[in-house]
Amino acid sequence: MTVLWFVIWLIANNTGGREPLLFHPVNAWTATLILAVALDLARAGGVPSRG
């Protein structure tokens, strides 16, 4: 999910206007990055280990 977000942001950043990732205050791109990381971490915690 985070890699997909990065690819979308990279394409949007290079084809459209430059949009930096701001953490104070949080902009829309940073908010979606935080959401993507949270979803990745939640998915990793919910998968039972093998073995």
Are 21 and 30 a contacting pair, CB within 8 Å?
A: yes
Is the whole-model pTM more than 0.75? no
Cα atoms in the 13 Å half-sphere on the side-chain side of 26: 8
Q: Which sequence spans correspond to the domains of the chain?
A: 2-45
pLDDT along the chain (51 residues), means of 10: 88 85 88 90 73 64
Instruction: Please tell me the predicted confidence (pLDDT) of residue 22.
Output: 85
